[in-house]
Amino acid sequence: MTNRLFRLTIMVPATVTQVRQLLLTPDRLPQWNPGIGTLTVRPNGWVITRSVPALNRYEILTVTATTRQVVYHSTAGRLTYQLRFDLTPRGTRTQITEELVPTTSAVRGLPLTLLMANARSAFQANLQNLAALMTRTAR
């Protein structure tokens, strides 16, 4: 499956370079994704274990990037996906457009559409946390 499940957008008072650097540092994920219990660096990526109920309680994260895009590749969980962050400069601010693109079509036999309302809310909250972190960091 290659269709995105949703797209979210937010503006942050930081440069593309600042946002990109934060996104390229998965060690900082717990600062804006409070559901992460542990984050362990391994040769094959970052192993994430969540401390709260979630679609993926466990997953392996790898990161790729270009100048204006950072992509998180999640594997080994119940849902494998790409989380794409497109970064667009807007004066002294940056527009972050986040897209969730699954690489599987179902989770244990459940259609993804049944799961997306809750997932979208969780991803929106995390994106708002990211924006708040960027606001504190840019001061």
Which token pair is 133?
Answer: 């972190």
What's the half-sphere exposure (Cβ side, CA atoms, 13 Å) at 37?
Answer: 10
What is the pTM for the complete model shown? 0.91
Dump pLDDT digits (tens) for 110-121: 666 777 777 888
Confidence of residue 1 (pLDDT cuts 50, 70, 90): very low
Confidence of residue 102 (pLDDT cuts 50, 70, 90): confident
Residue 33's pLDDT is 94
Residue 119: closest CA among 102, 97, 136 = 102
Instruction: Give whole-number Cα distances, 98 to 5, 37, 40, 43, 52, in Å.
Output: 11, 23, 24, 26, 22
Dump pLDDT digits (tens) for 47-83: 999 998 888 899 999 999 999 999 999 998 888 899 9
Contacts of 67 (CB under 8 A, 6+ apart): 16, 20
